[in-house]
Amino acid sequence: MSTSVPRLELLNITKRYPTIVANADVSLSVMPGEIHAILGENGAGKSTLMKIIYGAVKADAGTIRMNGEDIAITNPAQARRLGIGMVFQHFSLFETLTVAENIALVLDEPFDLAALSQRVKQISERYGLPLDPDRRVHSLSVGERQRVEIVRCLLQNPTLLILDEPTSVLTPQAVEKLFDTLRQLAAEGVSILYISHKLHEIQALCDRATILRNGRVTGTANPREESPASLARMMIGRELPVCEAPPYLGERRPMLTVQHLNLTSAGPFGTSLHEVSLTVHSGEILGIAGISGNGQSELMAALSGEHPVHKDAVRLDSKPIGHLNAGTRRAKGLVYVPEERLGRGTVPPLSLSRNALLTAHRHGMKHWGLVRYGKARDYAEECVARFDVRGGGAGTNARALSGGNLQKFIVGREIMLKPKVMIVAQPTWGVDVGAAAVLRQALLDLSRTGVAILVVSEELEELFEICDSIAVLAQGRLSPAQPKTSLNAESVGLQMAGLFPKTPLTVHAEFDHASA
């Protein structure tokens, strides 16, 4: 193994799309055994760059060198032959097939399934990635699925491993395990490209970092020698914004109460809810931590009213609302910001005016069954101005807005409905740092006016930043909410793995109206 020749060198890579330049003149080099971070916000061009290396996208200009030789990578199969492996953010596994079968699907050469299972076992043990090759994927946790993807790469003896935001689906403990594995691989000489926007992870794991902003390299650094603030400056071009959370001094009473909510999931691979109980008070932000797929979407459907449940299972300001649909609940003061912004929170091909009409139509926008489009436009324009929605006015189509600006519009639209309770799923998922800070502050400000807010998020740091108390949803069960001050990332992480006292399943049979 040569130590002077870089394993991978990118020279002046440029990739243009019709509307944006994804990568402009990007150069970087990775040495053998190095863990190299690619740091940048959503939309900074990280994923495009990795897809170019993996042969999934062709660069318009620039040179790629591996071990000192110019190479042209035209497709992923060729990249794999060159020793490049990639673990994608979104897994591509078949739920109904076993681990070994899923791995066999991507092998280019003929294989023997029994022998393959044996190799999967060996590799998974060697790198501390315990995996049963004969289990079907649908029974695996998200962390285990990621192991399948990693083992799938390792089987091909890669010399360069690319991981795209690998920790977004892991508990803090699982993140530590993953890092051990990656360090072991690096010690054996494998180069690792680690894509992330989480500063502390990069500082814990990586030897070097290339920072991207708007498709350009804005700096190269040793992350251990930098502070989070200095890394953030390179990443977003200014100081990391902080939220202010003044104490709430107003009246405090239960606004949203969920009691013994049971819900059988509709899909075969969904998660059913068991005996979920929670209370959100006025002026309080309750966070629900946990990894998506543990009943989050089912809980959101039951709370928002998209999936009505038993009348008494959900109460708003102590009145039963469980049986009502989303529109009626909104009329009573319960608003909802869904995780899916395009296609659920907004109608993509319709203008912001019409998307204001979607949920705000009770606010004087109807007259004898006819729409007063002027009022809807006014509402949208006010929302755009008040919540700093950039990229278009009331006439712009929802799909033309960036993720962060669209989310500002949706959150703003729901806040302007003057709710009593607001439910928000993944408030800043895929949103840039600046917009995320604006959104978090908006939620904090809203709660301090006496509104009860329930936030479901995969980002623990976000929950610790804005919430008053935190509960954990794991395998369809909700842990008792605890004040944020009595918790830390580690204790929440243990609960995310399902390690918390289960609520007793006795009594209260009258609430057991699980709807299919």
Binding window for another protein (CB under 8 A); candidates: 1-9, 107-115, 365-373, 421-429: 365-373
The answer to whether residues 204 and 228 touch, using CB atoms and an 8 Å cutoff, is: no
> In whole angstroms, how close is the CB of 406 to another protein at the nearest point?
13
353: tokens are 């005016």
CB nearer another protein, residue 399 or residue 508: 399
Q: Tell me how far apart the alpha carbons of residues 465 and 180 are, in angstroms, rounded to a whole number.
A: 28
DSSP state of 481: P
Assess 397 for contact with another protein (CB under 8 A).
yes
Binding window for another protein (CB under 8 A); candidates: 369-377, 379-387, 426-434, 451-459: 369-377
CB nearer another protein, residue 16 or residue 508: 16
Figure out which of the listed residues 348, 392, 430, 498 binds another protein, where binding follows CB under 8 A: 348
Figure out which of the listed residues 1, 114, 249, 370 binds another protein, where binding follows CB under 8 A: 370
φ, ψ for residue 254, nearest 5 deg: -65, 125
191: tokens are 């180069």
Residue 309 CA, distance from chain mean position: 27
Figure out which of the listed residues 117, 196, 304, 479 binds another protein, where binding follows CB under 8 A: 304
Assess 393 for contact with another protein (CB under 8 A).
no
Assess 515 for contact with another protein (CB under 8 A).
no
Figure out which of the listed residues 55, 305, 322, 404 binds another protein, where binding follows CB under 8 A: 305
Figure out which of the listed residues 343, 364, 395, 483 binds another protein, where binding follows CB under 8 A: 343
Q: Tell me how far apart the alpha carbons of residues 408 and 459 are, in angstroms, rounded to a whole number.
A: 18
Binding window for another protein (CB under 8 A); candidates: 146-154, 163-171, 222-230, 394-402: 394-402
Q: Tell me how far apart the alpha carbons of residues 73 and 392 are, in angstroms, rounded to a whole number.
A: 39
CB contact burial 318-345 (16+ within 10 A = b; e otherwise): eeebbebebeebbebbbbbbbbebeeeb
> In whole angstroms, how close is the CB of 335 to another protein at the nearest point?
11
> In whole angstroms, how close is the CB of 360 to another protein at the nearest point?
10
> In whole angstroms, how close is the CB of 319 to another protein at the nearest point?
17
Q: Specify which residues 8 forms β-bridges with.
A: 30, 66
Assess 427 for contact with another protein (CB under 8 A).
no
> In whole angstroms, how close is the CB of 151 to another protein at the nearest point?
34
Nearest to 42 by CA among 345, 458, 435, 410: 435
Figure out which of the listed residues 56, 71, 106, 400 binds another protein, where binding follows CB under 8 A: 400
Q: Tell me how far apart the alpha carbons of residues 86 and 211 are, in angstroms, rounded to a whole number.
A: 20
Assess 366 for contact with another protein (CB under 8 A).
yes
Nearest to 487 by CA among 172, 191, 258: 172
Beta-strand ranges (E) seen in 264-412 are 273-281, 285-289, 314-316, 319-320, 334-337, 366-367, 370-371
Contacts of 446 (CB under 8 A, 6+ apart): 415, 422, 453
Assess 18 for contact with another protein (CB under 8 A).
yes
CB nearer another protein, residue 236 or residue 299: 299
- The helix/strand/coil state of 50 is helix
187: tokens are 């010690």
Nearest to 354 by CA among 329, 321, 326, 377: 377
Q: Specify which residues 15 forms β-bridges with.
A: 23
The site for another protein, by CB under 8 A, has a size of 35
The answer to whether residues 253 and 281 touch, using CB atoms and an 8 Å cutoff, is: yes
Figure out which of the listed residues 354, 375, 408, 413 binds another protein, where binding follows CB under 8 A: 354
Figure out which of the listed residues 361, 363, 448, 508 binds another protein, where binding follows CB under 8 A: 361
Binding window for another protein (CB under 8 A); candidates: 42-50, 81-89, 253-261, 337-345: 337-345
Binding window for another protein (CB under 8 A); candidates: 168-176, 217-225, 381-389, 392-400: 392-400
CB nearer another protein, residue 18 or residue 110: 18
Figure out which of the listed residues 329, 413, 477, 484 binds another protein, where binding follows CB under 8 A: 329
Q: Tell me how far apart the alpha carbons of residues 220 and 511 are, in angstroms, rounded to a whole number.
A: 58
> In whole angstroms, how close is the CB of 344 to another protein at the nearest point?
4
Assess 359 for contact with another protein (CB under 8 A).
yes
Binding window for another protein (CB under 8 A); candidates: 127-135, 191-199, 204-212, 325-333: 325-333
Binding site for another protein (CB under 8 A): 18-19, 304-306, 325-330, 336, 338, 340, 343-350, 354, 357-359, 361, 366, 369-371, 373, 397, 399-400
